[in-house]
């Protein structure tokens, strides 16, 4: 038997008839309904019990909706509050939004629209809760062991990695030479859902352009002088897994266009071939260049940049996190001491 956990909704309104109408509209919708006829009563209820949503009327005697909202947000900042207001009070409703209300509806309310809004708010709030739980789980299970540092800047990198690695998002790693971009790519791969599949790496700056295209996409027999057999490229080798394109800023515009096509359509042709080959690859790219400046100079495609930078990780150089230097020095001291004594 499936256990249905009802979402709890608190209706705050000093108009008894309006409260009864709302309750009647919400009954049978898997909601647990509570009512408060004043701001003071509502504050006591919110203090004693958790609510998934509050429906708050702005115009009430004694303590009005705005004052009630302020108190509710002090008690439970994350609780979503939907304001109910008359046309003449829309400006006040906007004030309520600035104070943390999630939305407002104008009376007389369309009950169907209200139900849609409530469902949307509750689903959105549940998603935030789920993301928070997942985030905590990722941090708990995430393997940061190869990244050394406790500085605020490196912890910001951890934060991004913990959220991005388990997804399939394309990641762009930016940083000076020697900051550990390949190390970050390794961490993303090890903590991804593709960790059981291939992890293929290629340095785009280390090969001449014609050789780079052959490395990436492969070639057919006879495609060029020396191509005596068919060769699978890195995209085919990495199918189902992850492809790390290091120093992508050194790639020609022609090759960039072909990379863009793979990202957009998930297919390519080998050099000398006519058959389109499908591939399912997660891309991690890295560069020590300022790609925005490269775009302005016409050296890098803007559309490819946007495709690559779904998640961008900036690796800070050591001179921006000097507090990490002792730990890094200690790591290398122990590492090379072991080699000497081995």
**Same fold: 7-134 with 142-341:** yes
Res 88: pLDDT: 57
* pTM (whole model) above 0.75: no
Secondary structure class of 130 (helix, strand, coil): helix
Q: Tens digit of pLDDT for each residue in 200-248?
A: 999 999 888 878 988 999 888 877 777 778 888 899 999 999 999 999 9
Res 250: pLDDT: 93
Res 128: pLDDT: 58
Q: Tens digit of pLDDT for each residue in 286-318?
A: 999 999 999 999 999 999 999 998 889 999 888
Half-sphere exposure of 198 (CA within 13 A, CB side): 15
d(CA 211, CA 255): 11
Q: pLDDT in tens for each of the 342 residues of the chain?
A: 344 467 889 999 999 999 999 988 887 777 889 999 999 999 999 988 888 899 999 888 888 999 999 999 888 888 889 999 876 566 777 788 888 888 888 888 888 888 888 888 887 766 555 454 444 444 445 666 677 777 888 888 888 888 888 888 899 999 998 888 998 999 899 888 898 899 999 999 988 887 898 899 988 887 777 777 888 889 999 999 999 999 999 999 999 999 999 998 889 998 888 889 999 999 999 999 999 999 999 999 999 999 998 889 999 888 888 887 887 788 778 777 866 665
For residues 234, 239, 242, 244, the Cα torsion angle rounded to the nearest 10 degrees is 20
Res 129: pLDDT: 52
Inter-residue contact 93 to 58 (CB < 8 Å): yes
Res 34: pLDDT: 92
Sorted by where each begins, the domain ranges of the chain are 7-134, 142-341
- Long-range contacts of residues 212-216, Cβ cutoff 8 Å, at least 24 apart: 212/251, 212/255, 213/255, 213/258, 213/271, 214/271, 216/255, 216/258, 216/259
Res 304: pLDDT: 93
Helix (H) or strand (E) holding 12: strand 7-12
Query: Which CATH number is 7-134 given?
Result: 3.40.50.2300
CATH topology of domain 142-341: Rossmann fold (3.40.50)
Q: Which of 295, 220, 299, 216 is nearest to 261 (CA)?
A: 216
Res 54: pLDDT: 93
Q: Checking DSSP bridges between strand 282-287 and strand 242-246, what pairing results, if any? A: parallel
């Amino acid at each position: 038997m499936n256990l249905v956990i009802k979402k709890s909704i608190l209706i705050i309104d000093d108009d008894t008839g309006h409260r009864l109408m709302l309750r009647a509209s919400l009954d049978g919708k898997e909601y647990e309904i509570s009512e408060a006829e004043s701001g003071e009563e509502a504050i006591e209820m919110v203090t004693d019990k958790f609510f998934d949503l509050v429906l708050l009327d702005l115009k009430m005697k004694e303590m009005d909706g705005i004052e009630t909202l302020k108190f509710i947000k002090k008690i439970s900042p994350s609780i979503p509050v939907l304001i109910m207001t008359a046309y003449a009070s829309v400006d006040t409703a906007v004030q309520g939004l600035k104070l943390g209300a999630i939305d407002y509806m104008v009376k007389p309310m369309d009950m169907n629209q209200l139900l849609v809004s409530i469902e949307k708010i509750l689903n959105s709030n549940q998603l935030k809760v789920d993301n928070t739980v997942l985030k905590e789980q990722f941090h708990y299970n995430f393997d940061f062991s190869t990244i050394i540092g406790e500085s605020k800047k490196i912890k910001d990198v951890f934060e991004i990695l913990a959220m991005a690695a388990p997804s399939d998002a394309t990641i762009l790693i930016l940083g000076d030479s020697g900051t550990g971009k390949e190390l970050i790519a390794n961490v993303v791969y090890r903590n991804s859902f593709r960790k059981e599949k291939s992890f293929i790496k290629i340095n785009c700056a280390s090969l001449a352009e014609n050789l780079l295209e052959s490395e990436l996409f492969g070639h057919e027999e006879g495609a060029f002088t020396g191509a005596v057999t068919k060769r699978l490229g890195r995209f085919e080798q990495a199918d189902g897994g992850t492809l790390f394109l290091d120093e992508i800023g050194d790639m020609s515009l022609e090759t960039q266009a072909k990379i863009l096509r793979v990202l957009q359509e998930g297919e390519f042709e080998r050099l000398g071939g006519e058959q389109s080959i499908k591939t399912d690859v997660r891309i991690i790219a890295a560069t020590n260049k300022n790609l925005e400046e490269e775009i302005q100079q016409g050296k890098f495609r803007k559309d490819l940049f946007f495709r690559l930078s779904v998640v961008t990780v900036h690796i800070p150089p050591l001179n921006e996190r000097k507090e990490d230097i002792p730990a890094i020095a200690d790591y290398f001291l122990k590492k090379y001491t072991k080699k000497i004594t081995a």
